[in-house]
A = this chain, B = another copy of it.
Amino acid sequence: MPAMTRAVVLLSGGLDSTVTMARAKEEGYMLYPLSFDYGQRHKKELECAGKIARYYEAQEHKILKIDLGQIGGSALTDVSIAIPEKRDLEEIGEDIPATYVPDRNTILHTLALGYAEVMKADAIFIGANALDYSGYPDCRPEYFEAFQKVAELGTKAGVEGRAIVIKYPLINMTKAEIVKEGTRLNVPFHLTWSCYYGQEKACGKCDSCLLRMKGFKEAGITDPIEYIKSGGGA
């Protein structure tokens, strides 16, 4: 890879996207983190993303506003659908949860592709992983291979032979492995936010908290963030 090539990094402010940001930095890319204000119930994730972007001295932190609530159909953007709480961990990943926003990830990836083309970036880093993917279909390797084809065939950059490469370095890692990789890369775990809720402390009960807590526990590493209900569920 030539020096000073650019990477757009999808940065939600969560654990996985922050470890992915660290990987892009390790690979020598100039960092262009991209976050989405998509009608989430809370803005805490975005605040964390901003802190992480500053921590990594990113070139520019872009926040794209998109109202996915207009489409509807998910507990994360539609207040009439309850966020599931306290599911058994065994259930996570087996069915498609109510927090699934129809086609959300593809919408975000596609916006990232447009932004990457404008910024003349060579790569897009995405922190998806297939093992702890919580039942989202658009977190699987075969999905990303199809999306790479769209990037090659559907963009000016692709047609001109400079197709933007979609990178998803965590795709085959368990949450514990992601925590270990983050530890190796000195990721500022204390700045990351995984909880579906935007309270001062993480709830410790939602799917996302449960997966995170399990990951840190299995990795044998202490999670520096505070939980309302410590040790619950896992």
Contact = CB atoms under 8 A, between A and B. Distances in A.
Nearest to A157: B102
A97 to B, nearest CB: 10
| Total copies of the chain | 2
Interface in A87-124: 96, 100-107, 110-111, 113-115, 117-118
A96 B159 contact: yes
A141 B183 CA distance: 45
Interface of A: 64-68, 70-73, 96, 100-107, 110-111, 113-115, 117-118, 137-138, 140, 142-143, 146-147, 149-150, 152-156, 158-159
Given A110-B103, A143-B153, A143-B154, A73 B159 contact: no
Given A106-B150, A113-B106, A65 B72 contact: no
Contacts of A138: 153-155
Contact of A146 (B100, B118, B140, B154): B154
Among A111, A113, A152, the one with the most B-chain Cβ atoms within 10 Å of its Cβ is A111
B146 A117 contact: no
A101, A107, A158: which has the most chain B beta carbons within 10 Å? A107
A101 B72 contact: no
B114 A71 contact: yes
A70 B149 CA distance: 25
Contacts of A67: 65-66
18 contacts: A64-B70, A64-B71, A65-B67, A71-B111, A73-B114, A73-B118, A100-B156, A102-B156, A103-B113, A103-B154, A104-B114, A106-B113, A137-B153, A137-B156, A137-B158, A146-B146, A146-B153, A147-B150
